Structures are given as structure tokens and as C-alpha cells.
């Protein structure tokens, strides 16, 4: 099968997600490409049999298949020390905000994007995650026995053979806009929020590609703990994670430092823009109380 160009992918993705036939003017609006580009690309994909009359064909859907997100990995083994005292009895992803478990929003977004192969790497109070099976019977659990003596790279070790065509989620993110979880990806990417200034983990980006991960910066992209890894990069990660993990001090690493820091010459990871209002990381008990007044006791 021919590899799609980026512009062919962009147009086919929009057509695939639309219930209706789309005009070239609508495609211009939805893709951000010029009308001239849309005109040219529509002719290309029509000649390939991928689109007709403003709609995607079955052949077009088949052409998008290598770019479809097929599985999701949730990193959910840690203690969540900054959310004490709530996490004494409840793993952070299972904490309820306005009556709903934090992780449920992410799981619902995955299902909405057609991702049904879902793995949760668990460790702290592992058996409590069984409650999720009532609502999400498709979940499979991966056990991390060393979560307490290592950083989250140990959780990625448990899932390292599942990382192709896969999302990797920090499991404690409160999602407000499920549309940021996309069905199709042209390449590997990491969600980020454009910032004039941040004291948090962030990326330096050049021409849309992440060039550096660091803590704090100006005119950078604040990291959101959601990433997608294409088939090729997923295979590389399975080896590179193990190699870094087994080095001296390797257990102290964060998993995403493997492709973004220690082996970054082997990966080209794009930044995928999202916005403050799309997602919230609840870091501290104070932040939880500010969001949900029920904890103000």
C-alpha cells in the first residue's frame, strides 16, 4: 500500500470522520490547507480510488488503517503522594471528581475514538482497579511489582511490547474535551499546550518536532501526559526502554525520557496542540478541593 502524503492524510482523515459529503470549501476550513491544495489533493485521492463525491471510499478507509490508533496503555501504578490524604485509600486515577472517576473520562474518550484494546499498568492498591471492569469489561491489567522502587519507566517496561499504534496515558488527567483523543495519527506525537512561560515539564519545538524535554521555559510547549506512537516507533521503544531501564540509574527515569532525551536521535515526535480548557492535571489535594468542593471538609 502506498504511504500517504501528509496532505492526503489530512484530507482523508477529515472525510473519514464526517457523516456527510464535504465540499472543497469545507475541507479547506477543516484542514487549514488552501483551496488550491485541497483541489489538487482531492484529484490525487480520487485517482487512487480513495474518495468520490466528497466522501471517503472503502479503499480510502483501508489506506488510513495503518494510521489508526489500535490500543491504549494507561500508566497507573504510582502512589500519588501529592494527593494525600485521598490516596491513602484510593489510587489517584480512581479518585472521583464531581462523582466521576478521573480515569473514566480518558477511557470514554478512547472508546469514542474506536480504541477497545486497553491495558492498565497497576501497582499501588492494584485490586481496586477491578471495579473498572463493571463498566469497561474490555480492560486488561498489567501488574507492576516494582512500582514502589522505581519511576514510571518500570510501568512502560510492563507494556513495552504493546506500544505500536498505541496511545500512552498518564492515568490521572481530567479530560474535558474527548476530541483531543484522535482516531488517526500521521506519525508519533505528544500533546502539548503552547505557553509564554511555564515552570512545569515542557518541550522545545522546531518545525513541529520536539527537540528537547525540560523543566520550565519561555515560549515553549507545556507537556501533557498523553502521547501516541506509530508502528515503527513502538517497535523501537520496546528495545530502547529496556536498554535505558537496565542502565545504572535507569530505574529513576521517566518513561518518555527514552524517546525524548536518551534516544532522541532515533525518533521524530511531533507536538500535537491542545488547550488549557481541554484537560487538567490535578497535582495536589489543594487543586482537587478547588475543582470539587465536596473535598472542602
**Domain encompassing residue 38:** 6-66
149 alpha-carbon distance from chain centroid: 25
- What are the pLDDT digits (tens) for 44-88? 999 999 999 999 999 999 999 999 999 999 999 988 777 778 778
pLDDT, position 295: 84
pLDDT, position 50: 96
pLDDT, position 68: 97
Q: Which residue has the cell 465540499?
A: 23
- Burial category of 13 from C-beta neighbours within 10 Å (exposed 0-12, middle 13-18, buried 19 and up): buried
Q: Are residues 147 and 244 in the same domain?
A: yes
Q: Are residues 24 and 61 in the same domain?
A: yes
- Rounded to an integer, the average pLDDT of 274-286 is 89
Q: Are residues 94 and 23 in the same domain?
A: no
Q: What is the dihedral of CA 213, 215, 216, 220, to 10 degrees?
A: 10
Q: For helices 35-47 and 24-31, give the axis angle rounded to 10 degrees.
A: 110
Please, which residues bridge with residue 194 across strands? 221
- What are the pLDDT digits (tens) for 17-28? 998 999 999 999
**Of the candidates 3, 139, 168, which has an alpha carbon nearest to the alpha carbon of residue 69?**
168
Q: Are residues 106 and 193 in the same domain?
A: yes
- Rounded to an integer, the average pLDDT of 133-146 is 97
Give the end of a domain, one of 44, 66, 88.
66
* Domain annotation covers residue 1: no
Q: Are residues 112 and 225 in the same domain?
A: yes
- What are the pLDDT digits (tens) for 200-242? 999 999 999 999 999 999 999 999 999 999 999 999 999 999 9
pLDDT, position 189: 98
Q: Which residue has the cell 488550491?
A: 36
Which of 214-223, 251-260, 285-294 bottoms out in mean pLDDT, i.e. has the lowest? 285-294
pLDDT, position 279: 94
Percent of the chain whose pLDDT exceeds 90: 86
Residue pair 236/227 in contact (Cβ under 8 Å)? The answer is: no
Give the end of a domain, one of 51, 66, 81.
66
Total number of domains constituting the chain: 2
CA angle, 189 then 40 then 188, to 5° = 10
pLDDT, position 2: 60
Residues in the chain: 297
pLDDT, position 71: 98
| 15 CB neighbour count, 10 Å cutoff | 24
- Rounded to an integer, the average pLDDT of 156-185 is 96
Q: Which residue has the higher pLDDT, 283 or 39?
A: 39
Contacting residues for 77 by C-beta, under 8 A, at least 6 apart:
121, 122, 123, 124, 126, 144, 147, 152, 154, 155
Strand segments, DSSP code E, in the chain are 51-52, 55-56, 71-76, 96-97, 100-101, 117-122, 140-143, 166-170, 173-175, 189-206, 209-229, 270-273, 279-281
pTM value? Answer: 0.94
CATH code: domain of residue 172: 3.90.550.10
pLDDT, position 1: 47
Percent of the chain whose pLDDT exceeds 70: 99
Which of 27-36, 69-78, 81-90, 148-157 bottoms out in mean pLDDT, i.e. has the lowest? 81-90
- Rounded to an integer, the average pLDDT of 153-174 is 95
**Of the candidates 154, 231, 155, which has an alpha carbon nearest to the alpha carbon of residue 188?**
231
133-140, long-range: CB within 8 Å, 24+ apart, which pairs?
Answer: 135/104, 136/107, 136/111, 139/107
Q: Which residue has the higher pLDDT, 294 or 258?
A: 258
Amino acid at each position: 500500500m502506498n504511504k500517504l502524503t501528509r496532505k492526503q492524510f489530512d484530507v482523508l482523515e477529515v472525510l473519514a470522520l464526517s457523516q456527510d459529503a464535504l465540499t472543497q470549501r469545507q475541507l479547506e476550513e477543516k484542514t487549514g490547507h488552501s483551496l488550491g491544495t485541497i483541489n489538487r489533493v482531492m484529484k490525487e485521492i480520487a485517482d487512487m480510488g480513495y474518495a468520490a463525491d466528497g466522501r471517503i471510499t472503502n479503499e480510502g478507509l483501508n489506506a488510513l488503517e495503518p494510521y489508526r490508533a489500535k490500543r491504549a496503555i494507561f500508566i497507573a501504578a504510582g502512589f500519588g503522594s501529592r494527593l494525600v490524604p485521598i490516596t491513602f485509600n484510593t489510587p489517584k486515577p480512581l479518585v472521583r471528581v464531581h462523582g466521576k472517576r478521573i480515569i473514566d473520562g480518558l477511557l470514554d474518550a478512547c472508546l469514542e475514538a474506536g480504541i477497545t484494546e486497553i491495558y492498565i499498568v497497576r501497582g499501588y492498591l492494584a485490586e481496586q482497579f477491578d471495579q473498572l471492569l463493571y463498566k469497561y469489561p474490555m480492560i486488561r491489567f498489567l501488574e507492576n511489582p516494582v512500582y514502589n522502587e522505581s519511576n514510571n519507566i518500570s510501568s512502560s517496561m510492563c507494556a513495552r511490547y504493546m506500544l505500536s499504534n498505541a496511545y500512552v496515558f498518564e492515568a490521572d488527567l481530567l479530560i474535558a474535551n474527548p476530541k483531543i483523543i484522535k482516531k488517526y495519527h500521521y506519525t508519533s506525537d505528544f500533546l502539548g499546550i503552547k505557553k509564554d512561560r511555564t515552570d512545569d515539564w515542557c518541550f522545545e519545538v522546531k518545525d513541529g518536532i520536539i527537540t528537547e524535554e525540560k523543566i520550565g521555559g519561555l515560549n515553549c510547549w507545556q507537556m501533557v501526559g498523553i502521547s501516541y506512537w506509530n508502528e515503527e516507533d513502538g517497535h523501537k521503544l520496546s528495545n530502547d526502554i529496556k536498554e535505558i531501564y537496565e542502565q545504572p540509574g535507569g530505574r529513576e527515569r521517566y518513561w518518555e525520557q527514552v524517546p525524548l532525551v536518551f534516544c532522541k536521535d532515533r525518533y521524530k515526535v511531533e507536538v500535537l496542540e491542545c488547550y488549557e480548557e481541554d484537560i487538567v492535571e490535578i497535582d495536589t489535594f489543594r487543586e482537587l478541593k478547588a475543582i470539587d468542593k465536596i473535598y472542602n471538609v
